[in-house]
C-alpha cells in the first residue's frame, strides 16, 4: 500500500515519535510505502510530498516539533477539496494518516466523506480531543507549565507579588487545571467555569492579610468572567479566529492590581508550552498511536481515530468525534478549587 502521512495544526512535542512509528511499522512490518505531505493539508493541496524511509526518521524521536512541518490550513475553501483528491490520485494514495487536533481531524472527517480512507491520530497540548484520554503533546506541555509555575513561586514570594500565569487552552482548561494543581497555584481559571473577579479579589485580600505575602493565579487563555459579574470582558480573537495571547491574563492582572493595590505581574507562557523535548509519556503515546494507525490501515479499518482509553489503544469512528470538545471533568475542577 501507499500510505499518506501529514501533521496539521499547531506543533507539539511527540509528533516525531508518531511519524517515526508510522514509518517503521509500515516499512518493516508490512512493506508499505509512506508518502509524507509537508505542511499539513496545505502540502496535500500543493502536492508537496516526500517519500519517507528509515533515513528520514533517524534520530527524530527526542526532537520536538514535526519533521514534516505543519500549517493551520483546512481544505474547505472552493477548489481545495478537488485539489486534495487530485493529489491523492496522482500519488496513488491508498489511505492517509492525519496527525492533528480538532481542526485537522474535522478536515480529515470531510476528506473521509469524499471516499478517502483516513486514519486520524490525536495531538494537541490542549488535550481536548473527544474520545481519547490523552492526546500527543499534552503531557509535555503540563510539565513545562508546572516547571514555570515552580520558578515563578520563588520570585513571587521574594517580591511579595501576585503573579498571573497565562497558559494555553481555548475551549478546555486541561493545562491550567493540571499545572495549577501540580504547581500549587492559589487560583485556577478555566473555560469550563466562568469566574467572578470580586470573589478572586476577596480571596486574595484575605490570604495576604492572614498568612501569605504572595499568590499565584493560573489563567487559561479561554477563561472568561461569569455573566453579570463585575468584570466585563469577551475573549479576544485575531483575524483567523485564534485567541490573542496575553489578553485575558493582562486584563485579570490589571483588575487584581486595581482592586487590591497588590503588586501584580503577568507571565504569558504562550508557545513555550509547545516546544522542547517530549517527555517519555508523549514519546510512548505517539509511538503507540503510530503503530496502531498502520495496523488499522492494513486491516482495512478506516475513517477512525486512534485513542487511549483506560490504558488501551482503541479505534473511535471519526464521525463520533467531529465538532466535539472534551472538557475537564468536574472532579478535577473540584480538586483545583479545594486546594486553592
From 81, 89, 87, 91, select the one nearest 114 (Cα to Cα): 81
Cβ count near 331 (within 10 Å): 7
User: Does the structure show a pLDDT above 90 at 108?
Assistant: no
pLDDT for residue 109:
86
Spell out the domains of the chain, with CATH numbers in brackets.
2-137+278-321 (3.40.50.450), 140-275 (3.40.50.460)
User: Does the structure show a pLDDT above 70 at 240?
Assistant: no
Give bridge partners of residue 166 from the DSSP assignment. Answer: 219, 268
Write out the three cell numbers for 79: 477548489
Q: Is the dihedral angle over the CA atoms 256, 258, 261, 262 positive or is it negative?
A: positive
Active site residue 126: yes
Indicate the average pLDDT of the chain.
Answer: 92
pLDDT for residue 246:
76
User: Does the structure show a pLDDT above 70 at 211?
Assistant: yes
- Catalytic hit among 11, 102, 126, 282: 126
Number of Cα atoms under 13 Å in the Cβ half of residue 63:
12
Cβ count near 170 (within 10 Å): 19
**Phi, psi angles (nearest 5°) of residue 139:** -60, -45
pLDDT for residue 236:
72
- Residue pLDDT, tens place only, 7-49: 998 899 999 999 999 999 999 999 999 999 999 999 999 999 9
Q: Report whether 66 contacts 11 (CB < 8 A).
A: yes
Q: What does the alpha-carbon distance between residue 17 and residue 256 come to, in Å, rounded to a whole number?
A: 42
Q: What is the pTM of this model?
A: 0.93
pLDDT for residue 231:
81
What element of type H or E holds 262?
A: none
Amino acid at each position: 500500500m501507499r500510505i499518506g502521512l501529514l501533521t496539521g495544526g499547531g506543533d507539539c512535542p511527540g509528533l516525531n515519535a508518531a511519524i517515526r512509528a508510522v514509518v517503521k511499522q509500515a516499512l518493516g512490518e508490512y512493506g508499505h510505502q509512506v508518502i509524507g505531505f509537508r505542511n499539513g493539508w496545505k502540502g496535500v493541496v500543493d502536492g508537496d510530498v516526500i517519500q519517507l524511509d528509515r533515513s528520514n526518521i533517524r534520530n527524530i524521536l527526542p526532537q520536538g516539533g514535526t519533521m514534516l512541518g505543519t500549517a493551520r490550513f483546512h481544505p474547505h475553501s472552493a477548489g481545495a477539496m478537488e485539489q486534495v483528491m487530485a493529489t491523492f490520485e496522482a500519488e496513488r494514495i491508498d489511505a492517509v494518516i492525519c496527525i492533528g487536533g480538532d481542526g485537522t481531524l474535522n478536515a480529515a472527517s470531510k476528506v473521509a466523506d469524499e471516499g478517502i480512507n483516513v486514519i486520524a491520530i490525536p495531538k494537541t497540548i490542549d488535550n481536548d480531543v473527544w474520545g481519547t484520554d490523552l492526546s500527543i503533546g499534552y503531557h509535555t506541555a503540563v510539565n513545562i507549565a508546572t516547571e514555570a509555575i515552580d520558578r515563578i513561586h520563588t520570585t513571587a514570594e521574594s517580591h511579595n507579588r501576585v503573579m498571573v500565569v497565562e497558559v494555553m487552552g481555548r475551549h478546555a482548561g486541561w493545562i491550567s487545571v493540571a499545572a495549577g494543581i501540580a504547581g500549587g497555584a492559589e487560583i485556577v481559571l478555566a473555560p469550563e467555569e466562568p469566574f467572578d473577579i470580586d470573589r478572586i479579589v476577596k480571596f486574595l485580600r484575605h490570604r495576604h492579610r492572614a498568612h501569605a505575602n504572595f499568590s499565584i493565579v493560573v489563567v487559561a487563555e479561554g477563561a472568561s468572567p461569569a455573566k453579570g459579574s463585575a468584570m466585563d470582558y469577551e475573549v479576544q480573537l485575531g483575524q483567523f479566529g485564534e485567541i490573542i495571547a496575553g489578553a485575558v491574563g493582562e486584563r485579570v492582572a490589571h483588575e487584581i492590581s486595581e482592586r487590591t493595590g497588590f503588586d501584580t505581574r503577568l507571565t504569558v507562557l504562550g508557545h513555550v508550552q509547545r516546544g522542547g523535548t517530549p517527555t517519555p509519556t508523549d514519546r510512548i503515546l505517539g509511538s503507540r498511536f503510530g503503530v496502531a494507525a498502520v495496523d488499522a490501515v492494513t486491516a482495512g479499518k478506516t475513517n477512525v481515530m486512534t485513542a487511549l482509553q483506560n490504558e488501551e489503544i482503541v479505534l473511535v469512528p471519526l464521525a463520533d468525534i467531529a465538532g466535539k470538545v472534551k472538557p475537564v471533568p468536574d472532579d478535577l475542577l473540584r480538586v483545583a478549587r479545594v486546594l486553592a
